[in-house]
A and B are shown apart, each in its own frame.
Chain A
Amino acid sequence: MNHIESILKIKKGELSSLEYLEKFIDQINKKEDEINAFITLNEEKAREKAKEIDKKINNGKEVGKLAGTPIAIKDSIITKNLRTTCGSQMLKDFSPQYDADVIKKIKKEDGIIIGKTNCDEFCMGTSTETSYFGPTHNPIDHEKVPGGSSGGSAAAIKYGASPFSLGSDTGGSVRCPASFCGTVGLKPTYGSISRYGLIAYASSLDQIGTITNTIEESAYLFDVIKGKTKNDSTSLKYPDRDVYEELDTDISQKTIGVPQEFFGEGVDQEVNEEVKKSIKDLEDQGAKIKSVNIPSMEYALAAYYLVAIGEASSNLARFDGVRYGHYSNKNKDWEDYFSEVRREGFGKEVKRRIMLGTYALSAGYYEKYYQKALKIRTLLKNDFERALNESDLLVAPTMPFKPFELGEKIEDPLSLYFADILTVPINMVGLPALSVPSKEEDIGIQIIGEPFSEGEILSTGKIIEEENQ
Chain B
Amino acid sequence: MNVTIGLEVHVQLLTKSKLFCNCGTNYRDSEPNTHTCPVCLGLPGSLPVLNKKAIEYGTMAGLALNCDIANEMQFHRKNYFYPDLPKGFQITQYDRPLGQNGEIRLDQDKKIRIKRIHLEEDPGRLVHPPSARYSLIDYNRSGVPLLEIVTKPDMDSPQEARSFLKKIRETLEFLDIFDGSLDGAMRCDANISLEGGGRAEVKNISSYKGAEKALSYEITRQKNLLRRGKEVKRETRHFDESQEITRSMREKEQEHDYRYFPEPDLPLIQLTEEKINSIKEKLPELPEEKRKRFLDQYEITKDQAKSLTTSKTLANFFEEISQQVNPKKTATWVTDSLMGELNYRDQSLSESNMNKQKFIYILEKLRDGDITEKGATKIIRHILDEGGHPKEIIKQKDFKAIKSQNLDQIIHKILEKNSEAVEDYIKGKEEAINYLVGQVMSETKGKAKPADTRKKLQKILEGYDG
User: Taking beta carbons and an 8 Å cutoff, which residues of A are in contact with B?
Assistant: 77-78, 84, 86, 91, 94, 96-98, 100, 195-200, 202-204, 230-234, 310-311, 313-314, 316-320, 322-324, 331, 334-335, 338, 358, 361-363, 366, 370
Contacts and interface: CB of A to CB of B under 8 A. Distances in A.
Given A231-B47, A233-B50, A314-B77, A331 B133 contact: yes
Contacts of B259: 313-314, 358, 361-363, 366
Contacts of B82: 334
Contacts of A322: 83, 86, 137
29 contacts: A77-B45, A86-B44, A94-B44, A96-B43, A97-B38, A98-B43, A98-B46, A196-B47, A199-B44, A199-B45, A200-B44, A202-B264, A231-B47, A231-B49, A233-B266, A234-B265, A234-B266, A317-B89, A318-B42, A318-B87, A318-B88, A319-B44, A320-B81, A320-B83, A322-B137, A324-B44, A334-B81, A363-B259, A366-B259
A368 to B, nearest CB: 14
Given A320-B88, A322-B137, A197 B45 contact: yes
B442 to A, nearest CB: 69
Contacts of A311: 261, 264
A314 B257 CA distance: 13
- Pick from A203, A317, A335, A370 the residue with the most CB of B within 10 Å: A317
Contacts of B79: 313-314, 317, 361
Contacts of B46: 98, 196-197
A78 B44 contact: yes
Contacts of A91: 44
A317 B47 CA distance: 15
Contacts of B417: none
Contacts of A310: 261
B252 interface: yes
A322 B87 CA distance: 11
B48 interface: yes
A319 B85 CA distance: 11
A98 B39 CA distance: 11
Contacts of B133: 331
A358 B137 CA distance: 27
Contact of A203 (B38, B260, B264): B264
A278 B257 CA distance: 51
A387 to B, nearest CB: 25
Contacts of B219: none
A320 B82 CA distance: 9
Contact of B44 (A84, A202, A234, A363): A84
Given A200-B45, A363-B257, 8 more contacts: A96-B45, A98-B38, A195-B45, A196-B46, A233-B48, A317-B88, A320-B83, A366-B260
B41 interface: yes
Contacts of B266: 233-234
A318 B47 contact: no
A363 B79 CA distance: 12
Contacts of B44: 78, 84, 86, 91, 94, 96, 199-200, 318-319, 324
Contacts of B88: 314, 316-320
A335 B252 contact: yes
Given A314-B259, A366-B259, A338 B45 contact: no
B151 to A, nearest CB: 24
A100 B50 CA distance: 19
Interface of B: 38, 41-50, 77, 79, 81-83, 86-89, 133, 137, 252, 257, 259-261, 264-267
The 8 closest A-B pairs by CB, nearest first: A317-B88, A361-B259, A203-B264, A204-B264, A78-B45, A197-B45, A199-B44, A318-B42
B226 to A, nearest CB: 31
A75 B382 CA distance: 67
Contact of B257 (A198, A320, A362): A362
B264 A323 contact: no
A359 B42 CA distance: 23
A198 B47 CA distance: 9
A315 to B, nearest CB: 9
Contacts of B83: 320, 322, 334
A98 B43 CA distance: 10
B82 to A, nearest CB: 7
B17 to A, nearest CB: 13
A202 B262 CA distance: 12
Nearest to A235: B47
B47 A324 contact: no
Given A98-B38, A233-B265, A323 B47 contact: no
A3 B88 CA distance: 43
A468 to B, nearest CB: 37
A171 to B, nearest CB: 15
Contacts of A324: 43-44
B79 to A, nearest CB: 5
Nearest to B39: A231
B235 to A, nearest CB: 19
Contacts of A231: 47, 49
A289 B112 CA distance: 67
Contacts of B264: 202-204, 234, 311
Contacts of A316: 88
Contacts of B47: 195-196, 231-233
B257 A323 contact: no
Contacts of A230: 49
A362 B256 CA distance: 10
Nearest to B48: A233
A234 B264 CA distance: 8
A458 B77 CA distance: 37
A212 B44 CA distance: 26
Contacts of B89: 314, 317
Nearest to A358: B259
Contacts of B81: 317, 320, 334-335, 338
A230 B22 CA distance: 11
A98 B47 CA distance: 13
A323 B77 CA distance: 20
Count chain A CB atoms within 10 A of each CB in B45, B47, B264 and give the residue with the most.
B45
Given A318-B87, A366-B259, A196 B42 contact: no
B159 to A, nearest CB: 37
B257 to A, nearest CB: 5
B267 A233 contact: yes
Contacts of B86: 318, 322-323
A97 B252 CA distance: 36
A232 B137 CA distance: 27
B87 A317 contact: yes
Contacts of B50: 233
Contacts of B41: 323
Nearest to A339: B81
B261 A314 contact: yes
Contacts of A338: 81
Contacts of A98: 38, 43, 46
Contacts of B137: 322
A86 B44 CA distance: 10
A196 B43 contact: no
B49 A203 contact: no
Nearest to A316: B88
Contacts of B77: 314
Given A314-B77, A318-B86, A196 B257 contact: no
A279 B150 CA distance: 60
B93 to A, nearest CB: 16
B45 A198 contact: yes
Contacts of B43: 78, 96-98, 323-324
B126 to A, nearest CB: 10
